[in-house]
Structure 1
Amino acid sequence: MEIITSILAGVLFATAIYNILQKQLLRIVIGTALLSHGAHILILTMGRLKTGQPPVLTEGISDYTDPLPQALILTSIVISFGVTSLLLVLAYRTTKENNTDNMEQLRGNENE
């Protein structure tokens, strides 16, 4: 199971890098969102996937799931939601002000 989630994280990282390197502003925002999702899956995989185990240690239980990766992912989800919404608002305002979402035109390289 950990191999499959590692491959999924790699695919998410690859598509995120591809989208971040595009010229359209919306694709860059989608790339950053995919990058954060890949990081979430990677953190979850590094915490070892154990199904059917309780996350808290009580009497009589010797094998348990570590709750720290889940807490880190929950915090990261909230932060990435905030960053993604900020980037969407900035992309919307930039597109409205400049009438384009092409990064080359926004940089002033109109010849390319």
Structure 2
Amino acid sequence: MWLFSRKGPSGFSSSSTAEEVTRGIDGTGLTAIITGASSGIGTETTRVLALRGVHVIMAVRNMAAGKDVKEAIVKEIPTAKVDTLELDLGSLSSVRKFASDFKSSKRPLNTLMLKEYF
């Protein structure tokens, strides 16, 4: 077990948290799209990026779940800039609508994080 908690050249290990890794980073002015942001690692990624000042677009299939996550993040981080847009990666028409909606926001896209679905 000691092998997995030993810090590597970066100063981090497998037990390092996203907050530890991003400490000191200012993401103000950046925009990120996170798929699967309404649960699991997508939610945590959204939370930590919002904590660092990134404007996060939550791409979610379930808008009700996305709204709940957004509310929880904004409650914890009142300055968070988080929006939810509907996206079902299994539907080409949904992907086209999402792309059109995002494009009409005139925001830059600095980071795209796609949560894998199995």
TM-score (norm 2): 0.29
Structure with higher strand content: 2
Q: Which structure's CA Rg is the greater one?
A: 1
Structure with higher helix content: 1
TM-score (norm 1): 0.30
